[in-house]
Chains A and B, each alone.
Chain A
């Protein structure tokens, strides 16, 4: 199959429009794409929109002006980035959508969409919290440290988390504050929440870095965290899969991580080659994420990014 790929890719170029900035996940994802492209013999380039929608639309226009064979589009915003699809369609460049959802028409606007399901991740995180407590626990008070306001993954995870909490009378969301996916912002937010005197049993973070900030704050304020609520330990669940996060799980401070894997470059290129071979693909290819905890963390340690 390797051979066939090489001939199919002859002289073909793939460009990736990343919505992100220097965040571990996006770096890992684009370097995976690059590796995969090199392996299969495509020339590859990437643009970074730095979390700015207008910048991304410009990036895509610049890419399209160079007439690549394929565009891999990681939309910054589900609706606002949709114009990028129009630009590509007008120039006849086929698009694979990655990272998150976008408004568009399958077949006409894009070949397929491949990404983690953030709503699913949100649900999984909330479920992980519920499972950490004994069934007879009357109320589970939860603090949410969310990502950048308005970003699609933040929105998705928040939705998933609420879906579970709203359907469970025991669960209650007592605080929700921004951590902007950053350690220091999350740490300050957590400190303020602790100081406000509100009682809580668990913290859900939208990213590992936020969880690290929360752990720092809890430690500084003399709280315990871990896997056993009966010992007064606060349960921390988050989304990610960074090396730092995995180590914290191993150390027993971070209860569970619902992964958001950046390792699906192969799927992306398989889709590209299937398209080249004239096959029609499903509108959405789901990326499988997993829940990592103390028991399986060693197995996944190598996947940390």
Chain B
């Protein structure tokens, strides 16, 4: 009986709640649009295909790694070895390529090496129950050493018209190959997250590992797959970066990318304690970070000022999209 009397009041309240959510959702977008508008105003040449091209090309490795990281974090883990795995994959490909193995085998070899690293991570984490951050720290340190050992020297260069370098500059229907791979990877991950049993199992493990074990999810295999998937994406990122820059620098390739990737995933809204993987969010996060670098570079910002600028933008975005 108090039902009818209260419907309108409650309805109004519900609308208010919905609006508050809108503020949060659209807040991020308006914040971004506003900052882009301001940037465009004081950055000559900002609104152009070239800027987009720069941003996407520079976002490419971060995005690929962040996609893998999204799955890892959705399983409640973390992977700080992503940069080292990029280096290993790059080194293997580079080494194979310089010993005239041909383009396809070199690329395949690099991807295989990356996958093996992921297998190593996943096995240690799930079978030996060592904390993900420690396992991947080991791989981060030893892996980078391994990459340089594989390469045998600090850096290797390919001639400008070698097939590997041509691959890096290749365009498909006018689009740089990196952008095509990026679109494919995002589509694939969206499919995986939305449609597959695997992703649900990953989410379940991240949400409550104990319950996941008791419903019979194969934690060992699923965890291993998550890290392998992440590593393969890292490997592709690493190899493509080698192809783009026409050289391998095993000591520097992918260094510190783990921080950018984790930041991208966090900006995207995937929780650090596991749970739902948000691919779209990750994409936005992964593009924001290089975009800030591009803006800083285009405006000739000093390096240390760019650091502060980046920090302010990241904190700003997160303050707007915070969930309380």
Interface, chain A (partner B; CB < 8 A): 21-24, 27, 149, 175-178, 180, 182-185, 187-189, 191-198, 209, 212-213, 216, 219-221, 244, 247, 251
| Interface residues of chain A: helix, strand, loop or mixed (majority) | helix
| In the bound complex, CA of A221 to CA of B246 (Å) | 15
What total of chain B residues lie within 8 Å of the partner, measured CB to CB? 35
Contact, CB under 8 Å: A216 / B300 = no
Contact, CB under 8 Å: A176 / B155 = no
Question: In the complex, what residues of B have CB within 8 A of residue A27's CB?
Answer: 153-154
- Option from A149, A182, A221 in Cβ contact (under 8 Å) with B304: A149
Contact, CB under 8 Å: A149 / B249 = no
| In the bound complex, CA of A198 to CA of B44 (Å) | 9
Chain B minimum-CB-distance residue to A194: B50
Contact, CB under 8 Å: A212 / B157 = yes
Contact, CB under 8 Å: B58 / A244 = no
| In the bound complex, CA of A23 to CA of B298 (Å) | 28
Contact, CB under 8 Å: A24 / B54 = no
Expressed in whole angstroms, the minimum distance between the Cβ of B297 and any Cβ of chain A is: 3
Expressed in whole angstroms, the minimum distance between the Cβ of B58 and any Cβ of chain A is: 5
Question: In the complex, what residues of A have CB within 8 A of residue B51's CB?
Answer: 195
- Option from A178, A184, A220, A251 in Cβ contact (under 8 Å) with B249: A184
| In the bound complex, CA of A197 to CA of B54 (Å) | 13
Chain A minimum-CB-distance residue to B165: A216
Decide yes or no whether B94 CB sits under 8 A from chain A: no
| In the bound complex, CA of A209 to CA of B48 (Å) | 29
| In the bound complex, CA of A220 to CA of B178 (Å) | 13
Question: In the complex, what residues of A have CB within 8 A of residue B251's CB?
Answer: 21-23
**8 Å CB contacts to A: which residues of B230-281?**
241, 244-247, 249-253
Contact, CB under 8 Å: B148 / A22 = yes
Chain A minimum-CB-distance residue to B247: A183
**8 Å CB contacts to A: which residues of B23-66?**
43-45, 48, 50-51, 54, 57-58
Most-contacted residue by chain A among B160, B169, B299 (CB, 10 A): B160
Question: In the complex, what residues of B have CB within 8 A of residue A180's CB?
Answer: 252
| In the bound complex, CA of A244 to CA of B162 (Å) | 14
| In the bound complex, CA of A193 to CA of B48 (Å) | 14
Residue interface bits B91-128, CB-to-A below 8 A is 1, else 0 = 00000000000000000000000000000000000000
Decide yes or no whether B293 CB sits under 8 A from chain A: yes
Contact, CB under 8 Å: B245 / A213 = yes
- Option from A197, A219, A244 in Cβ contact (under 8 Å) with B247: A244
Contact, CB under 8 Å: A184 / B300 = no
